[in-house]
Amino acid sequence: MTSRLPGFYRLPIAERRKRLAELADDKINVFSFKAIDAGGLTLEAADGMIENVIGTYALPFAVAVNFVIDGIEALVPMAVEEPSIVAAASNAARMARPAGFFSTMSAPVMIGQIQITHVADVDAAMIALADATPALLADARRLVPRLAERGGGPVALEPRLLARSGPDGAMIVVHLHVDCRDAMGANLVNTLCEALAEQVARVAGGRAGLRILTNLTDGRTVTTRVLIPDANLGDEGNGAEIKEAIVAASRFAELDPYRAATHNKGIMNGVDAVLVATGQDWRAVEAGAHAYAARSGAYRPLAVWRSTPEGLAGELVMPLAVGTVGGALHNHPAARLALELAGVGHADRLAALAGAAGLATNLAALRALATEGIQRGHMALHARGLARAAGATGELVELVAAELAACGDVKLERAREVLARLGERKESK
């Protein structure tokens, strides 16, 4: 299978589906794509997922091409409404070929928090919790025997002193570290925290408070790296110049939280699109990513870029809690199709895809900012959307979009005017 599909974006949708089915080696066929028709979710399934359902809401579902991740060709599923994200990711992935992106995953450890308030003697409580840790962990593991048999389950217990006094008295939080294997693990961790809370409070000599996971999953991270040769960054022998401009843009984000926020948004453009397509809790990942970016006390970029003699080196490090079992995957056929298209069987591989997509969209944004500016490509794609919104079909879509982009007046009313004129000209012929 290859993800290098030149001209894929020019094909009609039916031909794109046929091409993907041919690449899938009998794992999917053209009929499999019915899972993403009309949003891929029946009203009945939607009604079983959340409350007060009155309908479904669809997003464009696409695949980013050209990706090689850890030496394996990959089609990267994306569900997103913003123009240019899929094209940008695909273009950056083309620059990274043939080596592509490389990822390293930590163990899939989630953290649950058990809050203990009104602790009578915090120093004695910390000692008692440390002494009781082996027994508490053994009790916790007995609650999830099958997960423990697969090498997962509770692996550590960490008490942390938060306050010696306050409106709630002295406060301690106990972190329960749980290896969730291929599950995202929120329900699992919350269940374990609730089951252990009263026992932990008795050991600490206080009262059990909140018992829930944290979305700052700094024990479950992905590191993604890429090295782009100078020649791949520019078409006119200006790759070295573009490289230095991207590195300068990275330094800007490292020094300024206002820029870092937008820099990180560009990363999440790619990450979130993969997470939405594959039925993940993207809000949890967003919360963890931004908290992780501020862990030093100042908000920093999640990805940095450096100039090397071999080319442009990029590295992304971020928390990324994803799962390939449980959650929306039980009910959402489009999410299951996305995993099949990507050839994802385990959570580590899904995290690798999301990390590579995030680093790719970050690279594409920085390259555009460092050269012609972000709006050129973005507005060209936006113009196509407005052309369709104005009623253009077939070849008129590109004709209307081209004129909008050329004149710089990318607005719906202008698109209607151009369509009316071009339509009249076409009829007169």
| 82 among known catalytic residues | yes
Of 175-184, 243-252, 381-390, 420-429, the range with the lowest mean pLDDT is 420-429
CB atoms within 10 A of CB 125: 22
Of 72-81, 187-196, 266-275, 321-330, the range with the lowest mean pLDDT is 321-330
The answer to whether residues 78 and 273 touch, using CB atoms and an 8 Å cutoff, is yes
The catalytic position among 73, 281, 286, 340 is 281
3-state SS assignment for residue 179? strand
| 265 among known catalytic residues | yes
Q: What pLDDT shows up at residue 114?
A: 98
Of 33-37, 215-219, 234-238, the range with the lowest mean pLDDT is 234-238
> Average of pLDDT values for 27-38?
88
What lies within 8 Å, CB to CB, of 342 at 6+ separation is: 74, 75, 76, 77, 278, 349, 350, 353
Please give the Cα distance from 205 to 129 (Å, whole number): 10
Q: What pLDDT shows up at residue 38?
A: 78
pLDDT value at 355 more than 80: yes
- Pairing, β 303-308 against β 221-228: unpaired
pLDDT value at 26 more than 80: no
The catalytic position among 243, 332, 378, 382 is 378
**Two tokens, residue 227:** 């090295």
Of 150-154, 234-238, 339-343, the range with the lowest mean pLDDT is 234-238
Please state the domain extents for the chain: 8-105+221-372, 109-213, 377-428
Q: What pLDDT shows up at residue 376?
A: 62
Taking CA atoms, 422 is separated from 45, 400, 401, in Å, by 44, 8, 12
Q: What pLDDT shows up at residue 373?
A: 62
| 281 among known catalytic residues | yes
Give me the percent of the chain exceeding a pLDDT of 90.
81
Please give the Cα distance from 64 to 270 (Å, whole number): 10
User: Which burial class, exposed, middle or buried, applies to 251 when counting CB atoms under 10 A from its CB (0-12, 13-18, 19+)?
Assistant: middle
CB atoms within 10 A of CB 314: 25
Taking CA atoms, 70 is separated from 80, 158, 209, 246, 351, in Å, by 25, 34, 43, 24, 12
Question: CA quadruple 208, 209, 214, 218: dihedral positive or negative?
Answer: negative
> Average of pLDDT values for 70-83?
96
> Average of pLDDT values for 70-79?
98
Q: How many helices (H) and strands (E) does the chain have?
A: 15, 10
Read off the pLDDT of residues 362-415 as tens digits, 9 standing for 90 and up.
Answer: 999 999 998 876 556 567 777 888 898 999 988 888 899 889 888 878 899 999
> Average of pLDDT values for 18-42?
87
Q: Tell me the CB-side half-sphere exposure of residue 77, using CA atoms within 13 A.
A: 27
Q: What pLDDT shows up at residue 394?
A: 83
User: Which burial class, exposed, middle or buried, applies to 277 when counting CB atoms under 10 A from its CB (0-12, 13-18, 19+)?
Assistant: buried
pLDDT value at 422 more than 90: no
What lies within 8 Å, CB to CB, of 291 at 6+ separation is: 215, 216
Q: What pLDDT shows up at residue 374?
A: 54
Read off the pLDDT of residues 108-153 as tens digits, 9 standing for 90 and up.
Answer: 999 999 999 999 999 999 999 999 999 999 999 999 999 999 999 9
What lies within 8 Å, CB to CB, of 314 at 6+ separation is: 225, 226, 227, 228, 303, 304, 305, 306, 359, 362, 363
Q: Output 218 or 31, whichever has higher pLDDT.
A: 218
Omega into 167 within 30° of 0, i.e. cis? no
pLDDT value at 239 more than 70: yes
The catalytic position among 15, 22, 82, 413 is 82
Q: What pLDDT shows up at residue 307?
A: 98
Q: What pLDDT shows up at residue 39?
A: 82
The catalytic position among 118, 175, 265, 346 is 265
- CATH number, span 109-213: 3.30.70.420
For residue 251, the one-letter residue type is R
3-state SS assignment for residue 207? strand
Mean pLDDT estimate for the chain: 94
Please give the Cα distance from 339 to 31 (Å, whole number): 16
| 263 among known catalytic residues | no
**Two tokens, residue 230:** 């100078």
User: Which burial class, exposed, middle or buried, applies to 39 when counting CB atoms under 10 A from its CB (0-12, 13-18, 19+)?
Assistant: middle
User: So what's the architecture of 8-105+221-372 in CATH?
Assistant: Alpha-Beta Complex (3.90)
Please give the Cα distance from 48 to 332 (Å, whole number): 11
Give me the percent of the chain exceeding a pLDDT of 70.
98
pLDDT value at 25 more than 80: no
Please give the Cα distance from 73 to 339 (Å, whole number): 14
Of 3-7, 161-165, 381-385, 406-410, the range with the lowest mean pLDDT is 381-385
The answer to whether residues 396 and 405 touch, using CB atoms and an 8 Å cutoff, is no
| Closest to 77 measured CA to CA, from 332, 421, 416, 417 | 332
Could you tell me the pTM of the whole model? 0.90
- Angle, helix 239-255 to helix 347-370, in steps of 10 degrees: 110
pLDDT value at 429 more than 80: no
